[in-house]
């Protein structure tokens, strides 16, 4: 992806109120670039869920957006606790989020399922105690 | 249904977005779980919620929704209203509880045009994709 446009965002893990800022910025960027609205919405929702996850579970991390005429790739990388059981985490309704996060409107066990639903391809690379990197791929052509 | 009509039916205060009250909306969703709202991607316009934090507004932005109704008489803090205003989101505030708010809007015809899969009360289209 040598000719990709690349945007980087630091996801601040210290503040729940800031979670989602990268997604809002990315949405604006994609609009400026003329990406079709339906694709923008799918990217926004998936990235937003990912960003929330990073703040809830992993003290933040890095979000990167790579854009070529053919594909858009979002990577979300953290050095958090890792996902112990990916298969379980992919089930709708399964959550390890603490109760105080539910009171904030998240932690319903829809994060990863939503990310999968709203991406063309999703890859999860996770190691317990090391961190998690998630790739969200979108095919534009 | 116009947003002004939603405000009238719910006896709602308009906290911001007076200039957008003529906007037409066709369906609504009531939920306190933002992840459930995010799972329900349709051409919805209004979110009714008892949750009150800035992520409610971000969820709306992600979903291209135009209007939020804060229910049960909760008054949103100024920071939330300002963030909504900056991003062109209409904020309404009603004393009514969730059930009655949704019921009144549904009875008035909101969401009925799209009979079928999506309901008004926090349902999400699981097979949307």
> What is the C-alpha to C-alpha distance for residues B69 and B81, in angstroms, rounded to an integer?
12
> How confident is the model at residue A100, as a pLDDT?
86
* pLDDT above 90 (res A103): no
What token pair was written down for A114? 């939503």
CA-to-CA dists, residue B56 to A34, A141, B48, B80, angstroms: 26, 33, 10, 9
> What is the C-alpha to C-alpha distance for residues B34 and B122, in angstroms, rounded to an integer?
10
Averaged pLDDT score across all residues of chain B? 87
- Domains in chain B (CATH in brackets) are 3-111 (3.40.1390.20)
Using the Cβ of A39 and the Cβ atoms of chain B, whether some distance falls under 8 Å is answered with: no
Residue B33, min C-alpha distance to chain A (Å): 4
A41 in helix, strand or coil?
Answer: helix
CA-to-CA dists, residue A31 to A35, A37, A40, A101, A124, angstroms: 6, 8, 7, 31, 27
> How confident is the model at residue B30, as a pLDDT?
93
> What is the C-alpha to C-alpha distance for residues A139 and A121, in angstroms, rounded to an integer?
9
Using the Cβ of B35 and the Cβ atoms of chain A, whether some distance falls under 8 Å is answered with: yes
pLDDT in tens, B27-53: 899 999 998 898 875 776 899 999 999
Q: Judge contact between A111 and B35, C-beta under 8 A.
A: yes
Question: CA quadruple A123, A18, B97, B106: dihedral positive or negative?
Answer: negative
**Contacts with A97 from chain B: Cβ below 8 Å:** none
Q: Which residue of B has its CA nearest to A22?
A: B58
pLDDT in tens, A2-17: 578 999 999 999 889 9
Is the Cβ pair B62, A19 closer than 8 Å?
Answer: no
**Contacts with A16 from chain B: Cβ below 8 Å:** 53, 55
Is the Cβ pair A20, B62 closer than 8 Å?
Answer: yes
pLDDT in tens, A122-137: 999 999 999 999 999 9
What average pLDDT does range A27-43 have in this prediction?
Answer: 95
Using the Cβ of B56 and the Cβ atoms of chain A, whether some distance falls under 8 Å is answered with: yes
**Contacts with A115 from chain B: Cβ below 8 Å:** none
pLDDT band at A64 (very low <50, low <70, confident <90, very high): very high
CATH of A5-139, one of 3.50.50.60, 3.40.50.1000, 3.30.565.10, 3.30.460.80: 3.30.565.10
pLDDT band at A88 (very low <50, low <70, confident <90, very high): very high
Written as tens digits, the pLDDT of chain B (129 aa) is: 999 999 999 999 999 999 999 999 988 999 999 988 988 757 768 999 999 999 999 999 999 999 999 999 989 999 999 999 999 999 999 999 999 999 999 999 998 755 544 444 444 433 333
Q: Judge contact between B128 and B41, C-beta under 8 A.
A: yes
Residue B31, min C-alpha distance to chain A (Å): 9
> How confident is the model at residue A50, as a pLDDT?
96
**Contacts with A107 from chain B: Cβ below 8 Å:** 35
What token pair was written down for B83? 């963030």
What average pLDDT does range A111-119 have in this prediction?
Answer: 94
Residue at token pair 């349709």: B42
State ipTM. Answer: 0.87
Using the Cβ of A45 and the Cβ atoms of chain B, whether some distance falls under 8 Å is answered with: yes
Where do the structural domains in chain A lie, given as residue ranges? 5-139
Q: Which of B3, B35, B13, B31 is nearest to B92 (CA)?
A: B13
Is the Cβ pair A108, B55 closer than 8 Å?
Answer: no
Using the Cβ of B128 and the Cβ atoms of chain A, whether some distance falls under 8 Å is answered with: yes
Partner residue opposite B33 with nearest CB, options A23, A92, A108: A108
């Amino acid at each position: 992806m040598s000719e990709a446009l690349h945007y980087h965002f630091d996801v601040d893990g210290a503040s729940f109120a800031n979670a989602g800022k990268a997604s809002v910025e990315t949405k604006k960027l994609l609009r400026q670039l003329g990406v079709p609205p339906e694709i923008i919405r799918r990217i926004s929702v998936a990235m937003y869920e990912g960003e929330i996850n990073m703040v809830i579970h992993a003290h933040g991390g890095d979000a990167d957006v790579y854009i070529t005429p053919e594909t858009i790739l979002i990577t979300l990388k953290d050095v958090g606790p890792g996902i112990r059981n990916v298969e379980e985490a992919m089930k709708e309704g399964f959550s390890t989020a603490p109760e105080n996060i539910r009171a904030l409107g998240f932690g319903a066990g829809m994060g990863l399922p939503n990310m999968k639903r709203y991406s063309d391809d999703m890859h999860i690379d996770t190691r317990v105690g090391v961190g998690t990197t998630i790739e969200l791929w979108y095919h534009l052509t | 249904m116009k947003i002004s009509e939603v405000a009238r039916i719910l006896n709602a205060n308009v906290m911001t977005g007076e200039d957008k009250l003529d906007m037409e909306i066709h369906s609504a969703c009531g939920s306190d779980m933002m992840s459930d709202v995010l799972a329900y991607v349709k051409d919805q316009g209004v979110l009714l919620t008892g949750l009150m934090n800035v992520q409610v507004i971000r969820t709306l932005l992600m979903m291209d929704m135009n209007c939020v109704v804060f229910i049960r008489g909760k008054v949103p803090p100024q920071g939330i209203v300002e963030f909504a205003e900056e991003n062109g989101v209409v904020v309404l505030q009603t004393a009514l509880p969730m059930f009655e708010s949704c019921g009144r809007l549904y009875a008035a015809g909101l969401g009925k045009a799209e009979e079928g899969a999506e309901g008004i009360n926090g349902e999400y289209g699981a097979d949307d994709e």
